[in-house]
Structure 1
Amino acid sequence: MNGLNHFGKVLAIAPHPDDEVLGCGGTLVRLVAEGHPVTVAVATTGRPPHFAEDQVQRVAGEMRRAHAVLGVRDTRLIGLPAAAMDTLPASETNAAFGQLIDEVAPDTLLLPFIGDIHLDHQLTFLAAMVASRPRHDKAPSQILCYETLSETNWYAPPTTPAFVPNVFIDIEATLDRKLEAFSAFESQVRPFPEERSVEAIKALARLRGATVHLRAAEAFMTIRQILR
């Protein structure tokens, strides 16, 4: 395959603001630069009393700045309750994701990994998979899962699903933009050696790249590909 041409129209779904930057920010910069329509949808929004209103507004502003760095112009907010998706009926969650995927009609879907420790990540994956069942010609033809530092590797593999990547996307030219976008989330950046640090993100990109003889990469697991 020639680069990312086969990705077509792309929808990246993040359980929370910043997950899409951590998991596939460098890839999103590449996709935008190569002319692909790119939409980022954030599944949840913080709600009182668990999240103070000023905190929610601060993160929303950080997200807008981060997406500007990535070059993403189409951001959708689904508005489900953060850290409380499990309190909703599955039918309600599935319907929200179904409406999103019907509206965007992506060729490629980028999702969090089912084995992430945060339940919001697991439920986002499951609802998106329900919504993208291949029942018609407009169903996504490619579904990939990205890894999220401090979520993907903190569960309990092999007791729980393990992230074993089989797709590596070269982000040598876009790694700095990914790091800049994450730095826009000032409320989320932590000092090294915490995983949500600029140093850890850069180290993971170098490691994933070296795995396949690249200087920097983002790693994904293929869930489904339909080749027409």
Structure 2
Amino acid sequence: MSARRILVVAAHPDDEILGMGGTIAKHALHEGAEVAILWVTEGSSQQYPGDVEIMERKFLEARAAAKILGVTDCRQHHLPDMRLDTLPHVEVNKVIEDAVAEFGPDTVYTVHADINMDHSTVFRSVMVATRPRVGTPVRRVLSYAPMSSVEWTPHFENTFRPNWFSNISDTIEDKIRSFDCYTTENRPWPHPRSPRAIRAIAESWGSSAGWACAEPFVLIRQLCD
């Protein structure tokens, strides 16, 4: 039986760790799945305009973080950070459609639509790229919620209501170690992008699912033959 092929789609480098780093490690290190990470934007030009050095450093951090989780297939694109909503929808679609066609995943994880417009744009493009059609390899689509984004979405707009939980009790340390690679994104406690917050949030979700640590997801679609 061939290994599962899992594509994780992130709008920016660090989305994937904050939202589902423990689950990536579980798939890649413990289940033997082939995992690829796709970063749609360059992830820094809005925060650090004109600073090419920090953009390159952030992608080095991203690859180092992915390696800790057992992932070496990292796909980097350079669509404009925090400006995806200014591009034609088909341009963002194509980046994801190409990755699906090239990698052939059976499972796709996408960043959830929230207050961050890049996240919302990527989410909608993943919905286009993974729509059920003859010959598609994609059987399951789930969304994940990066901390310091989804919880800041106004309650009347927040659609992240998890119905799928992943036990990361054995991989929470991998998640924290991988995020330590992101020196450009680490913040001191009590910011949600701090090691202490990452652990606390995982423990909170774990307590609601009967585990020490967990990550939450929304199951968007499951196709069963």
User: If the length of structure 2 is used for normalisation, what is the TM-score?
Assistant: 0.94
Alpha carbons 2:63, 2:72 under 8 Å: kept? no
What are the residue-to-residue correspondences of 1:43-192 with 2, within 5 Å?
A: 43-45=40-42, 46-47=44-45, 50-114=49-113, 116-157=114-155, 159-192=156-189
Deviations 1:148-176 (A, max 9, x none): 1011111112x213311111111111000
Name the Cα RMSD after superposition. Answer: 1.6
Q: Which amino acid is the alignment partner of residue 12 of structure 1?
A: V
Q: Which amino acid is the alignment partner of residue 39 of structure 2?
A: V
Q: Which amino acid is the alignment partner of residue 196 of structure 1?
A: R
> Residue in 1 aligned with 2:210?
213
Alpha carbons 2:142, 2:218 under 8 Å: kept? yes
Q: Which amino acid is the alignment partner of residue 17 of structure 2?
A: V
Deviation at 1:14, TM superposition (A): 0.8
Determine if the alignment matches structure 1 residue 23 to structure 2 residue 19: yes
Q: SS of the counterpart of 2:170?
A: coil
Structure 2, unaligned stretches of length 5 or more? none
Deviation at 1:139, TM superposition (A): 4.1
Deviation at 1:8, TM superposition (A): 2.4
Q: Which amino acid is the alignment partner of residue 129 of structure 1?
A: M
Q: SS of the counterpart of 2:151?
A: coil
Q: Which amino acid is the alignment partner of residue 14 of structure 2?
A: D
Q: SS of the counterpart of 1:178?
A: helix
Say how many residue pairs are matched. 221
CA distance in 2, matches of 1:170, 1:221: 15
Identity %: 34
Q: SS of the counterpart of 1:153?
A: helix
Runs of 4+ in 1 over 6 A off after TM superposition: none
Moved more, 133-142 or 175-184: 133-142
Q: SS of the counterpart of 2:82?
A: coil
Structure 1, unaligned stretches of length 5 or more? none
- 1:223 equivalent among 201, 220, 224: 220
CA distance in 1, matches of 2:124, 2:37: 18
Q: Which amino acid is the alignment partner of residue 68 of structure 1?
A: K
